[in-house]
Chain A
Amino acid sequence: KNEVEQSPQNLTAQEGEFITINCSYSVGISALHWLQQHPGGGIVSLFMLSSGKKKHGRLIATINIQEKHSSLHITASHPRDSAVYICAVAEYGNKLVFGAGTILRVKS
């Protein structure tokens, strides 16, 4: 069993829809990262969480440490949000263990 599980693996949405991507992990962690990888391949950090909730523009990330679960929400989705969203957990220091990613496509 993978230490980090993401769902769904693929997601297609209509522009304007509210999107949720889930991440569950099985190990004790010091922090959880949400990353975005665009079709060109570059990886950008969206959030780093160790508790609670963070918001940046239309993106919201939450984490429940007791349930070992995190969600990434995108409000009012737009075609430019189309990308791969990756959850990664830091078990020690910043040694990251990654989920397989969620491929998001937002249609106009």
Chain B
Amino acid sequence: NAGVTQTPKFQVLKTGQSMTLQCAQDMNHEYMSWYRQDPGMGLRLIHYSVGAGITDQGEVPNGYNVSRSTTEDFPLRLLSAAPSQTSVYFCASSSTGLAEAFFGQGTRLTVV
């Protein structure tokens, strides 16, 4: 079982470039989320979705865009990369709002 798949695993961007981090799950989960992990700060919620066509902002949404056109996919777009967006990004999914969360392997992004 694939679970939650994130691509790419590593990425280096130049300031101002845009890119999309991909997240796909094959468990038919309604809830999907994007988090970023920075040293000493714990993970923080960027964007959130409770189903196809429904998204919501989290704690740190600025500079990021999401859409949820299918149940399976929840891509995260960086509109104009900044060094402050250097981080490790995790996608997670769960079947309901009160269920175990499954995490992708993470994407390590460096913006230079």
A residues with a Cβ closer than 8 A to B are 4, 30-31, 33, 35, 41-45, 48, 50, 86, 88, 90, 92-101
Contact = CB atoms under 8 A, between A and B. Distances in A.
B31 A99 contact: no
Interface string B76-112: 0000000000001010101011111111011010000
Interface residues of B, number: 28
A96 B100 CA distance: 11
Interface of B: 31, 33, 35, 40-45, 48, 50, 58-59, 88, 90, 92, 94, 96-103, 105-106, 108
Given A98-B44, A100-B40, A50 B98 contact: yes
Contact of B101 (A96, A99, A100): A96
B103 A43 contact: yes
B31 A93 contact: yes
Contacts of B43: 86, 88, 96, 98
Nearest to B95: A94
Contacts of A98: 35, 42-44
